[in-house]
Chain A
Amino acid sequence: MHTGALVVAALIVLSAGCGSPGDGTSGDGPPEADRPAATGPRQAGQGRGGAEIATVRGRRIAVYKRKGDGAAWKTLSSPNEMGATRVFLVDAKDGDWLKVLLPVRPNGSTGWVKASGVELSTTSHRVEIDPKAFTFTVFDGDKVLRTGKVATGEGGTPTPAGRFYFTELIQPPDPDGDYGAYAFGLSGFSPTLTTFAGGPGQLAVHGTNKASALGGKVSHGCVRVSNDDITWMAQNLAIGTPVVVRK
């Protein structure tokens, strides 16, 4: 009896020694980091590759409340009301569908569009506006490209906080006028003005002919920057660039 047990023990020692050559191939498989990522719905947002911008291919695009819906919720034209090719900021991707930030009221509205109806591009740029400090910062990833002073909305017509994006770039006929040299339309709207100057109360980031007012609450909701800054933005940023207005 003891003899048999000892023989078994010897065989176990033998097999253990031969089965562990130290090559690391046995056990539970490759480390977690080496495993391929699971596929499925994924958040786009401002990831490693930056923000994704969806540019509408045709003359209009159907927007759905939920992906896979049979009937469209809205149909948006392209060009948009200001004459620019319609773009969306992509929030998430799921197969052939894209969840996008919509340039409609209420601010922050999202919908789903078919990926086949848009062309995707990626930007690592983003603009952050700090209304408390009255400053803007343009980032390229983590790198600061430019900072400057802003003016924001006054008490009755505040600049709302939120995540927006540039919808078009307008060049006013008079660079010394109220809008300065350029105006980037935003995907957001004034919370208090439903119309303004014949428009729908759309917000913008634009230049100014009153540089001395920068650093204060003086606008009807738009974000004003210096003409030098808006000219730099016009020369360096794309339609669809994310713009975050902090609280």
Chain B
Amino acid sequence: MQLKSLIAAVALGVGLAGTGLAAGTAAADSAPPAPTATPREPTPASRPTAPPSTRRPGEPSPTHPEPAPSRPPVAKPIPKMPNYTG
């Protein structure tokens, strides 16, 4: 009698585990793109798009916290007689 109960418990456990795996896989494969709680047509402001950005246009990317140094200007010639080794 005890053995039967035990087998039933194990079978139940394995079954639950399998169900959990299947549900997890299904959720990963077909994640719904938008919530379904609001059936009305979303306004442009509330339309689900990319995550909201905290950066303004032209602001440096957060992956580059230091501002990139500018390019140096092309050399400006100095009129002079050189004294290099020649």
Residues of A within 8 A of B (CB): 3, 6-7, 9-11, 13-14, 16-18, 20-23, 49, 52-53, 55, 82-84, 120-123, 153, 157, 166, 168-173, 178-179, 182-185, 190, 193, 196-199, 201-204, 206, 219-222, 234-240
Interface of B is mostly: mixed
Total contacting residues, chain B, CB less than 8 A: 35
B14/A13 in contact, CB under 8 A: yes
* Complex: A179 Cα to B24 Cα, angstroms: 76
With a CB–CB cut-off of 8 A, which chain B residues contact A238?
Answer: 71-75
Residues of B within 8 A of A (CB): 2-3, 6, 9-10, 13-14, 16-18, 20-21, 24-25, 27-28, 68-86
Q: Give chain B nearest CB distance to A219 CB in angstroms.
A: 6
Q: Give chain A nearest CB distance to B22 CB in angstroms.
A: 10
With a CB–CB cut-off of 8 A, which chain A residues contact B27?
Answer: 21
Q: Give chain B nearest CB distance to A188 CB in angstroms.
A: 10
Q: Give chain A nearest CB distance to B56 CB in angstroms.
A: 23
With a CB–CB cut-off of 8 A, which chain A residues contact B10?
Answer: 6-7, 9-10, 13
* Complex: A238 Cα to B76 Cα, angstroms: 8
The residue of chain B having its C-beta at the shortest distance from the C-beta of A233 within the complex is: B75
With a CB–CB cut-off of 8 A, which chain B residues contact A83?
Answer: 78, 80
With a CB–CB cut-off of 8 A, which chain B residues contact A221?
Answer: 85-86
With A169-B75, A184-B75 already in contact, the answer to whether A22 and B85 are too (CB < 8 A) is: no
